[in-house]
Amino acid sequence: MARFEKRAMRFCRVLAGSGHMMVSMDRRHFLKRMGAAGVALQPALRATGAVSPNEAFSPGIFLNQTGYLPGAAKKATVRLAEAASKDFLVRRVADRTVVLRGKLGAAIRDEASGDEVGVADFSALRLLGEYQLEVGGLASDRFPVAAEVYANGLRLTMRAFCGQRCGCAVDLGDGYKHPACHADGAFHPSSGQSGAQAGKLPNRGGWHDAGDYGRYIVNSGLSTATLLWAWELYPAALGRLALAIPESGGKLPDYLAEVRWNLEWMLSLQDADGGVWHKQTSERFCAFVMPQDDQLTSYVIGTGGPPFKSTGATADLAAVMAVAARCYDPYDHAFAQRCLAASRKAWDWTVAHPEVQFENPPGISTGGYGDRDLGDEIAWASAELWRSTGEARYETAFLAHAPTGDKLVAISAPGWGGVLPMAYWTYAMAEGAMAEGKGNPAVKAAIRNATQAAAAALIERSCRNGYGNTLAPREYNWGSNSVAANQSLLLLIANRFHPDAAAREAALDNLHYLLGRNCLGVSWVTQLGVRPFQHPHHRPSAADGIEAPWPGLLSGGPNAGGGDAVWAKLPKLPPMRMWVDDERAYSMNEIAINWNAPLVFLLAAANSQTTS
């Protein structure tokens, strides 16, 4: 209780609202997180000279704290300054038997961490069991080798979405619960609704976006589509996933039932003319309170002038509803048809209004998710609709908005503001539409080849980096952990096009990085692994009176690009070290649905490789 009181006192001093904080970021992927749930730093709060309390427990050996699949590659990173020898061994915990011996690979000067490291490759270990790696006087965390080793991670990270539900009571067990929140909404004047329409409107669900309680169509679009793509690619792993949600046992698999909770809210933000309002949030971020205690009005917010809806939100809704139409049809044909109709209507609206950007109207300081280039969103919506319907007008629009041929844009990991890779990939994966003799085989082949080239570059990076991830040093910016997860998504799509064990391994290497094979020895998913981080920038975790945070949430991760007031106090260190486990540090330790979604995708893939 004493520790809780200390936490409570700390939050008494936390001030909500960061609408006036200016953050200079050069990647638009992160612009929209600007000010997302910011807090003002109080000078009396704890010193931030130490990078992370986790580092004090660092064993000098860094590996995936949740373990490895029997048939997959297994590598650990050893900091050479702490290891007295380059010989390593693997010992079985049960009987202390040495089951494998080897030597570290050549020394690597790892630019991202500043460490000189060696890699212990113990991939030859395939027998099920619990083990420890020992190198020159160091012993690693204990880790399992098992076929179902990532099942818990998949369940936790997907159940985290249940924990983000808005408009209903939530109960994840172990005290992680809250009564229904944000029961009523209202149209903000910027939405263009007036008179009787501007009164209260019922809450239609959705997921709280991040550490704050807002809901944003643009971010929901990519997050939800990522989850539905995972469903399409890994149906076995996700079909058997039991989430223990109120809808369990109904006609939908649990996974699709959870995703529908957010789809229903997205649909509720579509106006009669097909356009979609940009977001539903309060005027400013609330204090660090539980969701049911947030008394600020949840407004449907528009652009402030005709046509009031935004192109980005409308195109993203069109894209994700087209995906949903495919996914839900076998289980609920009527709902799938509703999604498809909404998608078509939204797409028609974007044709009529292709360039309506969004900026926060006066008096609104929540996340903007603004985007100046909307061609990729329209291309994505068009490609998804073409894939779902095979209708030529959608393909024509895709080809008009997505550069192809000599102008094909190099493939990179997608983000909420950059969805062109999604457009390309769904076009290239449109098997049904292509089977009908439609589509351009040359464009499809070019997309596949460009994806393979991008994957090859990531694989090369993974081999060169001391900690085995695919991030370049310049990519340690706001939300870098989600970039790693989305790079794994890219690798897995490439593997879909051209099956390649190296791509699958590199994708898993990012999972290992996120779950402990990093220079801080931390697992960046709450309640997962030996040393998960403890202090996400996440209001329920801070306000619920429980010491441990809500489970299954991915931290934004190291950020060398600038951010919050806690960040400003950090010493300048190599980029992977620019992280601190502090709930005030929203530029390093917030959580977000668009960060958890690619991790779920990656874990779904990992759970599909249990026999490899």
Neighbours of 611 (CB within 10 A): 8
576 binding Zn ion? (CB under 5 A)? no
Distance of closest approach, residue 339 Cβ to Zn ion, in angstroms:
23
> Hey, what are 551's tokens?
């489970």
The span from the CA of 19 to the CA of 286, in Å, is 12
181 binding Zn ion? (CB under 5 A)? yes
Q: Which is nearer to Zn ion, 283 or 371 (CB)?
A: 283
Number of residues that bind Zn ion (CB under 5 A): 4
Q: Which is nearer to Zn ion, 142 or 204 (CB)?
A: 204
Residue 355: closest CA among 404, 383, 314: 314
* Residue that the structure tokens 């395939």 belong to: 126
314, 346 Cβ separation under 8 angstroms:
yes
31-50 mask for Zn ion (x: CB under 5 A)?
--------------------
Distance linking the first and last C-alpha atoms of the chain: 46
Q: Which is nearer to Zn ion, 291 or 521 (CB)?
A: 291
- β-partners of residue 134 are 89, 139
Q: Could you tell me which stretch among 173-181, 333-341, 350-358, 365-373 binds Zn ion (CB under 5 A)?
A: 173-181
Q: Which amino acid is at 187?
A: F
The span from the CA of 280 to the CA of 298, in Å, is 6
Q: Which is nearer to Zn ion, 166 or 313 (CB)?
A: 166
Q: Which is nearer to Zn ion, 291 or 302 (CB)?
A: 291
Distance of closest approach, residue 582 Cβ to Zn ion, in angstroms:
25
Q: Which is nearer to Zn ion, 215 or 345 (CB)?
A: 215
Give the angle 38-312-36 at the CA atoms, nearest 5°: 5
Q: Which is nearer to Zn ion, 182 or 387 (CB)?
A: 182
Q: How far is CA 572 from the centre of its chain?
A: 26
166 binding Zn ion? (CB under 5 A)? yes
Distance of closest approach, residue 166 Cβ to Zn ion, in angstroms:
3
Q: Which amino acid is at 201?
A: L
The span from the CA of 40 to the CA of 47, in Å, is 15
Distance of closest approach, residue 210 Cβ to Zn ion, in angstroms:
13
Please tell me the total number of residues recorded for the chain in this structure: 612
Q: Give the footprint of Zn ion on residues 113-132 (CB under 5 A).
A: none
Cα radius of gyration rounded to whole Å, the chain: 23
When binding is defined by CB under 5 A, the residue of 32, 75, 178, 182 that contacts Zn ion is 182
100, 140 Cβ separation under 8 angstroms:
no
Distance of closest approach, residue 163 Cβ to Zn ion, in angstroms:
11
Q: Could you tell me which stretch among 66-74, 174-182, 329-337, 478-486 binds Zn ion (CB under 5 A)?
A: 174-182
Whether residue 307 has a cis bond before it, omega within 30° of 0: yes
Q: Could you tell me which stretch among 164-172, 281-289, 308-316, 459-467 binds Zn ion (CB under 5 A)?
A: 164-172
Q: Could you tell me which stretch among 20-28, 160-168, 218-226, 435-443 binds Zn ion (CB under 5 A)?
A: 160-168
Distance of closest approach, residue 181 Cβ to Zn ion, in angstroms:
3
Distance of closest approach, residue 278 Cβ to Zn ion, in angstroms:
18
Distance of closest approach, residue 164 Cβ to Zn ion, in angstroms:
9
Distance of closest approach, residue 168 Cβ to Zn ion, in angstroms:
9
**368: Cβ contacts below 8 Å, ≥ 6 apart:** 31, 32, 34, 358, 359, 360
CA distances from residue 539 to 108, 258, 328, 367 in whole angstroms, order as listed: 40, 21, 32, 16
Distance of closest approach, residue 525 Cβ to Zn ion, in angstroms:
23
Q: Which is nearer to Zn ion, 207 or 347 (CB)?
A: 207
Distance of closest approach, residue 211 Cβ to Zn ion, in angstroms:
13
Distance of closest approach, residue 77 Cβ to Zn ion, in angstroms:
40
Q: Which is nearer to Zn ion, 122 or 176 (CB)?
A: 176
312, 377 Cβ separation under 8 angstroms:
yes
**3-class DSSP state for residue 88?**
strand
Q: Which is nearer to Zn ion, 182 or 531 (CB)?
A: 182
DSSP annotation of 574 = -
The span from the CA of 430 to the CA of 206, in Å, is 28
The residue of the chain with the least Cβ separation from Zn ion equals 166
Q: Could you tell me which stretch among 147-155, 159-167, 457-465, 503-511 binds Zn ion (CB under 5 A)?
A: 159-167
**3-class DSSP state for residue 244?**
coil
233-272 mask for Zn ion (x: CB under 5 A)?
----------------------------------------
The span from the CA of 338 to the CA of 345, in Å, is 11
Q: Which is nearer to Zn ion, 291 or 529 (CB)?
A: 291
Q: Give the footprint of Zn ion on residues 280-309 (CB under 5 A).
A: 291
Residues at the contact surface with Zn ion, assessed by CB under 5 A: 166, 181-182, 291
